[in-house]
């Protein structure tokens, strides 16, 4: 049966053949497989590429464990990894500096960020990892920058309100689409991807202190505010920064849960971070594998009808719940 491959396949195939680094090959191969239509005529082709992709990933994993991994990777820390995306001088580095303990190079000249730089953003009793990256739209860095975006949990799309923000947003969304990174809209809808987890995003409209920013912000909100979360800030004057911090937690889908041993006070200093919609047994599996097989019941303070209510293992937890496990 003929494969009937679309033109996008041959473009992606050329990109894959030209890829030099291991990380670029993995990204290009993922994109190549995504262009292949699913029918009986392409089953063998897809299977062959899947084997190559699996082999590349295994090699990358071994190199990383041996300390020979890609220089342009960021080890995940905290409750979630959040990547900052934007053009030169959009203020990504300033936002990182406002929200975290990192000390990036903040300058008026383009390309002050040349390597990934991460910092930890505290939100109450947990931390999120923010990663600043070189500006998008640069062929020399876009390959590995897109790789980091694919692995991040959330994207902050930083827009400069003083420099044609609608065009910036359009170009960035086009790039993300070309890299086949699916985004989650405000209403929860998203496109399925075979290889890349869909990303929550926040549009950060920076430089609200500039002349004309109010009108530009209104246009940006009209065009994108209905579909995506949007937060206006001034990193220079540190206005809106705390609103952004709260929005990051809200959009992340992360909740906190605290463990409690029977007869003892709960440990409120070290919360476990789990995804929204997680259950008692999900938390138990995170704490100790024996809870999965041996759990008799759990008591919950917070989302339960009354403090210390005995609940089933499928009880869905809410933020700041306290859970006491009985085995």
What is the reported pLDDT for 323?
95
Look at residue 1 in the predicted model and tell me its pLDDT. 45
pTM metric for this prediction: 0.80
- Cα angle 32, 34, 35 (rounded to 5 degrees) comes to 70
Q: What pLDDT shows up at residue 109?
A: 46
Token pair recorded at residue 189: 């809808």
With H, G, I as helix, E, B as strand and everything else as coil, classify residue 22.
Answer: helix
Per-residue pLDDT 10s for the chain (327 aa) are 456 788 888 888 888 888 777 777 777 888 888 888 888 888 889 888 888 888 887 776 666 555 544 545 788 899 999 999 999 999 999 999 999 987 765 555 454 456 788 899 999 999 999 999 999 988 778 888 888 999 999 999 999 999 999 999 999 999 999 898 999 999 999 888 878 899 999 999 999 999 999 999 999 999 999 999 999 999 999 999 999 999 999 999 999 999 988 989 988 888 999 999 999 999 999 988 877 788 888 999 998 899 999 999 999 999 999 999 988
Cα(241)–Cα(258) distance, integer angstroms = 28
Distance CA 311, CA 316 (A): 10
**Selection from 274, 294, 273, 235 nearest residue 92 by Cα:** 235
Domains and CATH numbers, the chain: 7-65 (no CATH), 81-252 (3.40.50.300), 255-326 (3.10.20.30)
User: What pLDDT is stored for residue 281 in this prediction?
Assistant: 93
Longest Cα separation, the chain: 68
pLDDT of residue 140: 73
Question: What pLDDT, on a 0 to 100 scale, did the predictor assign at position 64?
Answer: 54
Asked if 207 contacts 220 with a C-beta cutoff of 8 angstroms, the reply is: no
Structure token digits, residue 249: 């937690």
DSSP single-letter state for residue 194: S
E strands in the chain = 81-85, 117-123, 126-132, 154-160, 183-184, 199-206, 229-232, 254-260, 272-275, 297-301, 309-311, 321-326
* pLDDT for res 18: 81
> Are 139 and 18 spatial neighbours (Cβ–Cβ below 8 Å)?
no
Instruction: List, edge to edge, every strand of the sheet that includes 321-326.
Output: 272-275, 254-260, 321-326, 297-301, 309-311
Q: What is the pLDDT of residue 120?
A: 94
- Identify the pLDDT of residue 72: 57
- Residue 38 is inside which H or E element, if any? none
DSSP 8-class letter at 41: G
Q: Is 67 left (phi over 0), alpha (psi -120 to 50) or beta?
A: left
* Structure tokens given for 165: 């923000």
């Amino acid at each position: 049966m003929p494969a009937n491959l679309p033109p996008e396949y041959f473009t992606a195939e050329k990109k894959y053949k030209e890829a030099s680094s291991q990380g670029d090959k993995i990204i290009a191969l993922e994109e190549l497989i995504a262009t292949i239509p699913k029918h009986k005529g392409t089953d063998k082709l897809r299977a062959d590429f899947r084997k190559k992709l699996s082999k590349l990933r295994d090699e990358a994993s071994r190199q990383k464990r041996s300390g020979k991994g890609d220089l342009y990777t960021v080890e995940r820390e905290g409750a979630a990894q959040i990547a900052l995306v934007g053009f030169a001088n959009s203020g990504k580095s300033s936002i990182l500096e406002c929200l975290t303990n990192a000390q990036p190079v903040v300058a008026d000249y383009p390309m002050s960020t040349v390597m990934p730089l991460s910092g930890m953003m505290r939100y109450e009793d947990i931390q999120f990892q923010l990663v600043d990256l070189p500006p998008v739209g640069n062929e020399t860095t876009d390959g590995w920058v897109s790789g980091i975006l694919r692995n991040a949990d959330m994207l902050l799309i930083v827009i400069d309100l003083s420099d044609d923000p609608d065009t910036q947003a359009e170009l960035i969304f086009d790039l993300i689409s070309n890299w086949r990174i699916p985004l989650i809209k405000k209403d929860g809808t998203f496109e399925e991807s075979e290889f890349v987890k869909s990303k929550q995003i926040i549009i950060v409209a920076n430089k609200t202190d500039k002349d004309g920013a109010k009108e530009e912000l209104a246009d940006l909100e009209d065009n994108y505010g209905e579909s995506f979360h949007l937060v206006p800030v001034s990193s220079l004057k540190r206005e809106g920064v705390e609103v952004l911090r709260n929005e990051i937690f809200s959009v992340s889908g992360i909740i906190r849960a605290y463990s409690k041993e029977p007869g003892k006070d709960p440990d409120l200093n070290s919360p476990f971070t789990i995804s929204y919609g997680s259950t008692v047994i999900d938390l138990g599996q995170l704490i100790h594998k024996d809870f999965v097989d041996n759990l008799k019941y759990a008591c919950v303070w917070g989302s339960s009808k009354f403090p210390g209510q005995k609940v089933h293992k499928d009880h869905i937890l809410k933020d700041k719940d306290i859970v006491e496990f009985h085995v």
